[in-house]
């Protein structure tokens, strides 16, 4: 059974940093691209960042480019999202998700974690 | 990159059909056959319903179908059931390794 378990969320002040983790199980991790998607309170879904199966390719949404870094450790079956220079508008539930078809990023996401709340506030 | 345009709401009675549009430009929806649709219930994770415009993942009923014409993609839910009441989001590849979501459509089963 595929499982994705996010951790690392919490309350942080503007300008601060936080690292999210997503531990995966139930599939051959390095064979699949992974993506982070967020949803701010009362708002819609927003694509944040994606990483290919080999970690050779990483992609970022415009609103987080230069502040967030996605990475993965295929030996630990874990994908990370390092979030720096956090802003109030980064407050959201962050989901990690697995690519449906394989190691390339297409944002066809068939399994999702339960989400982790990040609150940026002073 | 601007969000794709979806109607804020749509509704139908049980057994009826509802179609949700997702309008972009030739740089995103119109330029690629990479449109997906997600269903989201409050407090739950999104669920992939359609990918590559028309394909259904395993387990998604054939009451759901996707299509595209020009710069507009559409999701049709036929034979509406109570469990179809949810928010629906489209997402499209927008070139240069960017993807953009629509604003979401709240579907109400009357």
Reduce the DSSP state of residue B43 to 3 states and report it: coil
Average pLDDT of chain A to the nearest whole number: 97
List the pLDDT tens digit at each of the 110 positions of chain B: 678 999 999 999 999 999 999 999 999 999 999 999 999 999 999 999 999 999 999 999 999 999 999 999 999 999 999 999 999 999 999 999 999 999 999 999 99
Structure tokens at B32: 């690629």
Q: Which residues of A touch B102 (CB under 8 A)?
A: 44
Residues of chain B whose C-beta is under 8 A from some C-beta in A?
Answer: 1, 3, 34, 36, 38, 40, 45-48, 51-52, 57, 87, 89, 91, 93, 97-104
Higher pLDDT, B2 or A65: A65
> Residue A11: beta bridge partners?
A119
In this prediction, residue A27 carries a pLDDT of 96
Average pLDDT over residues A38-43: 96
In this prediction, residue B1 carries a pLDDT of 65
In this prediction, residue B3 carries a pLDDT of 86
How distant is the Cα of B14 from the closest Cα of chain A, in angstroms?
26
Select from A27, A2, A98, A71 the least CA-distant residue to B46. A98
């Amino acid at each position: 059974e595929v499982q994705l378990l996010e951790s690392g969320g919490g309350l942080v002040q503007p300008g601060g940093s936080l690292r999210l983790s997503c531990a995966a199980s139930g599939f051959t991790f390095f064979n699949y691209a992974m993506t982070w998607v967020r949803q701010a309170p009362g708002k819609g879904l927003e694509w944040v960042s994606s990483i290919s199966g080999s970690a050779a390719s990483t992609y970022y949404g415009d609103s987080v480019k230069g502040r967030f870094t996605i990475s993965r450790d295929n030996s630990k079956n874990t994908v990370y999202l390092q979030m720096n220079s956090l802003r109030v508008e980064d407050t959201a539930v962050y989901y990690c998700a697995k690519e449906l078809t394989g190691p390339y990023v297409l944002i066809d996401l068939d399994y999702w974690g339960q989400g982790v709340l990040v609150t940026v506030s002073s | 990159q601007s969000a794709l345009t979806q109607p804020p709401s749509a509704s139908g009675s049980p057994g009826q059909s509802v179609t949700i549009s997702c309008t972009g430009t030739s740089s995103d929806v119109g330029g690629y056959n990479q449109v997906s649709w997600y269903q989201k219930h409050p407090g739950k994770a999104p669920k992939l319903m359609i990918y590559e415009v028309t394909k259904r993942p395993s387990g998604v009923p054939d009451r759901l179908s996707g299509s595209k014409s020009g710069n507009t993609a559409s999701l049709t839910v036929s034979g509406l059931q109570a469990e179809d009441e949810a928010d629906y989001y489209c997402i499209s590849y927008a070139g240069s390794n960017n993807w953009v979501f629509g604003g979401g459509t709240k579907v109400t089963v009357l």
